[in-house]
Amino acid sequence: MARFGRVATAMVTPFDADGELDVDAAVALAKFLVTEGNEGLVVVGTTGESATLSIEEKLTLFETISAAVTVPVVGGTTGSNTRQDMGLTAEASKLGLAGILAVGPYYNRPSQTGFELHFRAIASATDLPVMLYDIPKRTGRKVSSGTLVRLANEVDNIVALKDAAGDPSETAKVIAESPDDFEVYSGDSPMNLPLLAVGAVGLVGVCTHWAAPDHVQMLNAWAAGDIAATQRHNRRLLESYVFEGNDDAPNPVQPKVMMQTLGHEVGACRLPMGPAPEGTADAARAVYDRLVASRG
């Protein structure tokens, strides 16, 4: 069983009409996601608009979501300021989280030595298990396989990787050279099946906001060794993978519209993400209706 759940959602952060944090809506959404089959939640990640949240808002979300659900909740506590990130990680570790999500520092594009020292510093600030997050498309630089392997082998509480680097062959190398209990989770929906094939234990998704049951079916089929069924479920999900975001409406713009379309009051994204393009709600409804129809 995956430490943080085979199917986990990187949860959007609900805001009210004035753009303020809506804690009640966040709790309601977290509970809904669990009832839909999510075995874990990640809060204050990229999809949760972490870069636009204050430290106080982040701590509030960590505490309230952890208390509201019984599944593991992983909190995103890092950005591009190691000293500040260590302080937030230490504070967050007191609030009921099951783990810490530590993304590769963005914008300042550190060297591999900088990455390694940053992650070691974050891990030293908490007794909780740490999930590294490699997403070079957003951070501007990949964490190398060598760096990941050293951290997995040498830092006791670095126990997992959320992989959104898009290179299954390198992921396979990391898995092969890391301890047996080091877990890799797909962090990029189109890579879910390829990463399962090289040893990932689960996924941290975005379209799992509306398609968690389908992901659970896919993971169950995979665990049962039914490759044909796994492929069939993955094909049904392809349109949802695409809907997660594009250049005109990056994640989480479209996921928030999808959830609003399904009756969840999550509000719009804070700037600088910008508003949803015209027609996004209609597209969301069509994607969801086709997914439900495909369930048979």
- Give the active site residues: 133, 162
- DSSP result, 80-115: S-HHHHHHHHHHHTTTT-SEEEEEPP-SS---HHHH
**DSSP H or E segment with residue 68:** helix 55-68
Say how far apart CA 47 and CA 210 lie, in whole Å. 14
> Can you give the three-state secondary structure of 131-193, one letter per residue?
EEEECHHHHCCCCCHHHHHHHHHHCCCEEEEEECCCCHHHHHHHHHHCCCCCEEEECCHHHHH
Strand boundaries in 196-269, DSSP class E: 202-205
